[in-house]
Amino acid sequence: MAGVSYRFALDDLVVLSALDRTAAAEEDLFPLMDAIGRVLVNGAVERITVTNVDPDGVPWPQSFRAEVFGGPTLHASGRLARSITSAPESREVTVGSNLVYAAVHQEGAIIRAKTAKGLFFMLADGEEVVVGEVTVPRRPYLGISTAEREDIGDLTVSHFTGLLDGGLH
């Protein structure tokens, strides 16, 4: 080549080291998945204890107990909120609850009596009721809100930027 030129190759040890760290981290994203899990757990707990809206911001149907006594709909005892956990792995994170009734509140359900005697229960106001079935409306608390999606994006950028910056200084 005539004139002048400058050749760049990825053989600089600092650059290669940063790329190696990034490639290795891509195989095991456990720290990032753990951080994302905390964001999602906090979001679910906030929906249960404070906002009573689904991840898209749609308000839940208010429970009879909340109508009568006030307070958040799914937070009478606090047990559901305390049960929300995350299980991070190298490339994913699972967030949820192991409580038997957790799925009923997330997805909604129709609970039918198994016998002709019906379902017997006491309402929050003390009234005793016998019915053939009860419809529990969906009140999704698990999911990703717009704010959580932004937080996850920031965490991801920060995670990989930190890996690259670690070898370039």
Mean pLDDT per 10-residue segment, the chain (169 residues): 60 62 70 94 97 96 89 92 94 93 95 92 86 94 96 90 62
Residue 108 maps to a domain? no
Distance CA 85, CA 40 (A): 9
Query: What pLDDT sits at residue 161?
Result: 83
118 phi, psi to nearest 5 deg: 90, -175
Residue 54 maps to a domain? yes
Specify whether the backbone of 70 is left (phi greater than 0), alpha (psi in -120 to 50) or beta. Answer: left
pTM, rounded to two decimals:
0.80
Query: What pLDDT sits at residue 2?
Result: 63
Residue 25 maps to a domain? yes
Residue 79 maps to a domain? yes
Distance CA 3, CA 40 (A): 57
Residue 66 maps to a domain? yes
Distance CA 40, CA 84 (A): 9
**CB 11 within 8 Å of CB 160:** no
Question: Per the structure, how many domains does the chain have?
Answer: 1
Query: What pLDDT sits at residue 160?
Result: 80
Residue 76 maps to a domain? yes
Distance CA 131, CA 116 (A): 10
Question: What is the number of other CB atoms lying within 10 angstroms of the CB of residue 33?
Answer: 21
Q: Which domain holds residue 151?
A: 13-102+142-163
Residue 31 maps to a domain? yes
DSSP at 62: P
Q: Please, is 47 exposed, middle or buried when counting C-beta atoms within 10 Å of its C-beta (0-12, 13-18, 19+)?
A: buried
Residue 6 maps to a domain? no
Query: What pLDDT sits at residue 169?
Result: 37
